[in-house]
Structure 1
């Protein structure tokens, strides 16, 4: 098949997958409005192949699944990620994260697991699949490893195996777009020790597999009008608690089984690409925030005020720092021992950290520039009334006409103070890794050796002093 249309993708979701949403079983994803709106968004991956084949198609297949074999391939992937994010209002759609996980399998798996991963990659290309990724475990008491949890099911684990299959039990949390996917890729969430062998597992599974249940979060549930909710009325993300109740996985779909030494490297291989995806899909979101800041300042007639120019300049500094670091991560890219080019992990994590660290201040600036109108303005019903609307147009006029000012205010409100804004606050702090996880990766990736030796040289220290023999990553020794 090679390339599917958006309509073919939609038809492929018609099966007996078990979805629980707002306390009831969903039998048809196309008939449930909230889930259908997420499908609409995910379908952008497929319409992009028609609209922009120069970006989205590579050698007759989806460019999302093109394994980077050069720096140029990585730069092309970045451009693809940014364009699909721009169409999705500055967030992921579906194939991006799935391809991140697929590339991780191809980089970290060994032996039979690697051969199966390669075969699955071939299938993703041939059938143009949409992949969700289930990585984050429930985790329970985070001070304890998987094997020491009070409830052994708080991390997904292998409970049985035979010549043809393995059987797993447990759950994965926060699985994005699982109701809208053709396949779900399951990865370990952390490094593991010898006692955690049962939890070191990776595989692919269709959502309609018996024993698998998707409990979809109702956050931002309900249909919204485009006047008050210009973003969340069109762009919805779904997350699920993905529960495996003694689910049988055929061996040809198993990429990692009870091998704890590979769990950590596989997790980090996913992080390399997933955070690269994150910083690229954030760039259109940064443009959205900067554009909204300029629009709302103009609408309120304060764009030339000194304090406003100062606040906007800080937003520009933040956004362009992230953009520059994102581009630098491609420039510094290097191949691994299998010839797969990966973005520079230090710069990727620095870009992601810079974005997440600066986001709360940028959101606060938007709220400050907009004023109380974010929560006191009129709704769509009043705006649609022919007798009320002239009153609103008259009294809500600012430096621009009333309609323009209100639509800008609703954009900022949707982005910051309504439930979509709350989702963004959590998403931008924790998705693709927390601030602490990014700092840890920066320490792991930074080699202080040259800086230490330079400082020793200028201090007049001999080559055989203890510092000159310091480990490349001293923080890792602690």
Structure 2
């Protein structure tokens, strides 16, 4: 078993994968002037093995792929995810989601399919592969089951099979990192009935497999200077529509083949780990919100105002509630199949719901404290022009305790970070992620209702009410 360097990861992307971006075929993802930013961002999951080996290396391989078998190992995984997210500006990097899928496969499958998953997991550890996950089907009419759709390809399905392979057709959307990962794990998106058997499929395959086409979203496109975009000029995550045009998958890579009874349990098992990943990678983002609010209040000279203290206190309570629930999800975890530790589903979904439900209000509080310069402030070209900069230095002075010119520079840089985080397209991206990534608010509420055991609470009520 070994560990790859970031350079080896980048070199591995120069293959025959079919990636399309802004209407054009990309010949090399790692060398494209815009997409290379995302590759550099994802490289953190390889660099961290050198910078934080105590967290990122387990028994000679990447700790992202260590199967958690105790509450402490799950807690350590949360710390690893938080640390790499901190390096990545508050968003996931690459290996986190693929490892979530691996744990779900190992916890759900049985028989020959489980043995295939175990063999794949060993190869992932040995070769230090970066995995993306394709789970969400495009779905078409969401009131209809997969087999009821007018176009049968709106859910990924098996269209042919022989003694050695299956052939699949359809598409998955929201496939983060599929353009710059080594391999892709496909999971079912929902529970399925017997008539949906062709859609109950899971497998893994290299990204350069013939028939696999990846259409990268243009969101956050274009050049970004570091002055105006301190976050999004350094960090980018690629989101894609991933199309399977009669893709052949060898049997040894197939984990679920027309097993509708396992589609729902596998999807839910992935959700358990993926939301645990979510609440831990969101923690640096919450620190950005709280820290920015505290600093901008000082820079604007309003830190002593009662309403300002109240807003900052609310942000602190929001952030610490999510952090506490993240820790609780590991503390209350329990072993499942083959001793694989499962995050507590009530705690993990409550944490994710709390984050998602509170994010937009938290961003609004931060924008309120920062002021209108988030939208009307000067740009990088203005700052670089000495004549214009002199005007800016005069009229955009602040309350920062420093020399006037340094005072202005600090305030404008902080305002640009807040604008990048809340008011510009990266802020919009974060708002959508908060609402829909790792599952919607309604999906999280549904899991809380499904997994909460009311026995103790009801028994307590029955005792005091004399019902028993």
What's the TM-score, normalizing by structure 1?
0.96
Structure 2, unmatched stretches of 5+, are: 401-406
Q: What's the counterpart of residue 473 of structure 1?
A: none
Of the three residues 400, 422, 427, the one matched with 1:421 is: 427
* Alignment check: 8 A CA contact 2:212 2:244 kept: yes
Aligned-pair distance for 1:298?
1.1
Query: SS of the residue aligned with 1:174?
Result: coil
Q: What's the counterpart of residue 85 of structure 2?
A: 85
Query: SS of the residue aligned with 2:173?
Result: strand
- Whole-angstrom CA distance in 1 between matches of 2:215 and 2:202: 21
Q: For 1:133-212, what aligned pairs fall within 5 Å after superposition?
A: 133-212=133-212
Instruction: State yes or no: 1:70 paired with 2:70.
Output: yes
- Whole-angstrom CA distance in 1 between matches of 2:327 and 2:370: 31
* Alignment check: 8 A CA contact 1:157 1:201 kept: yes
String of CA shifts for 1:332-382, please: whole Å, max 9, x gaps. Answer: 111013200111110000000000000010000111111110111111111
Q: What's the counterpart of residue 461 of structure 2?
A: 455
* Alignment check: 8 A CA contact 1:175 1:241 kept: yes
Query: SS of the residue aligned with 1:180?
Result: coil
Aligned-pair distance for 1:268?
0.8
- Whole-angstrom CA distance in 1 between matches of 2:438 and 2:444: 9
* Alignment check: 8 A CA contact 2:108 2:337 kept: no
- Whole-angstrom CA distance in 1 between matches of 2:303 and 2:137: 46
- Whole-angstrom CA distance in 1 between matches of 2:14 and 2:298: 47
- Whole-angstrom CA distance in 1 between matches of 2:130 and 2:179: 11
Aligned-pair distance for 1:35?
1.2
String of CA shifts for 1:45-94, please: whole Å, max 9, x gaps. Answer: 00000111101000000000000011111111111011000000111000
* Alignment check: 8 A CA contact 1:216 1:240 kept: yes
Structure 1, unmatched stretches of 5+, are: 463-478
Aligned-pair distance for 1:437?
0.4
- Whole-angstrom CA distance in 2 between matches of 1:454 and 1:337: 32
- Whole-angstrom CA distance in 1 between matches of 2:283 and 2:459: 37
- Whole-angstrom CA distance in 1 between matches of 2:331 and 2:428: 34
* Alignment check: 8 A CA contact 2:131 2:182 kept: yes
Aligned-pair distance for 1:390?
2.0
Deviates more, 1:449-458 or 1:72-81: 449-458
* Alignment check: 8 A CA contact 1:133 1:176 kept: yes
- Whole-angstrom CA distance in 1 between matches of 2:76 and 2:146: 39
Q: What's the counterpart of residue 413 of structure 2?
A: 407
* Alignment check: 8 A CA contact 1:272 1:342 kept: yes
- Whole-angstrom CA distance in 1 between matches of 2:30 and 2:45: 17
- Whole-angstrom CA distance in 2 between matches of 1:311 and 1:160: 58
- Whole-angstrom CA distance in 1 between matches of 2:19 and 2:154: 21
Aligned-pair distance for 1:321?
0.6
String of CA shifts for 1:146-198, please: whole Å, max 9, x gaps. Answer: 11111111000000101100000000001001111000000000000010000
Aligned-pair distance for 1:31?
2.4
* Alignment check: 8 A CA contact 2:217 2:238 kept: yes
Q: What's the counterpart of residue 367 of structure 2?
A: 367
String of CA shifts for 1:315-346, please: whole Å, max 9, x gaps. Answer: 11111111111111111111013200111110
- Whole-angstrom CA distance in 1 between matches of 2:189 and 2:397: 52
- Whole-angstrom CA distance in 2 between matches of 1:451 and 1:72: 28
Instruction: State yes or no: 1:376 paired with 2:382.
Output: no
* Alignment check: 8 A CA contact 2:89 2:231 kept: yes
* Alignment check: 8 A CA contact 1:397 1:403 kept: no
CA RMSD of aligned residues (A): 0.8
* Alignment check: 8 A CA contact 2:201 2:256 kept: yes
Aligned-pair distance for 1:386?
1.8
- Whole-angstrom CA distance in 2 between matches of 1:263 and 1:234: 38
Query: SS of the residue aligned with 2:338?
Result: coil
- Whole-angstrom CA distance in 1 between matches of 2:337 and 2:281: 27
Aligned-pair distance for 1:396?
0.7
Q: What's the counterpart of residue 475 of structure 1?
A: none
Query: SS of the residue aligned with 1:169?
Result: strand
Deviates more, 1:388-397 or 1:5-14: 388-397
String of CA shifts for 1:77-127, please: whole Å, max 9, x gaps. Answer: 111011000000111000000000000000111111111100000001000
- Whole-angstrom CA distance in 1 between matches of 2:316 and 2:458: 34
String of CA shifts for 1:192-214, please: whole Å, max 9, x gaps. Answer: 00100000000001111111100
What's the TM-score, normalizing by structure 2?
0.98
Q: What's the counterpart of residue 300 of structure 1?
A: 300
- Whole-angstrom CA distance in 2 between matches of 1:404 and 1:395: 14
* Alignment check: 8 A CA contact 1:395 1:402 kept: no
Q: What's the counterpart of residue 97 of structure 1?
A: 97
Q: What's the counterpart of residue 339 of structure 1?
A: 339
The alignment of Structure 1 onto Structure 2 pairs a total of residues equal to: 462
Of the three residues 428, 434, 443, the one matched with 2:449 is: 443
* Alignment check: 8 A CA contact 1:35 1:179 kept: no
Instruction: State yes or no: 1:49 paired with 2:49.
Output: yes
Aligned-pair distance for 1:30?
2.3
- Whole-angstrom CA distance in 2 between matches of 1:379 and 1:451: 57
Moved over 2 A (4+): none
Of the three residues 406, 414, 434, the one matched with 2:440 is: 434
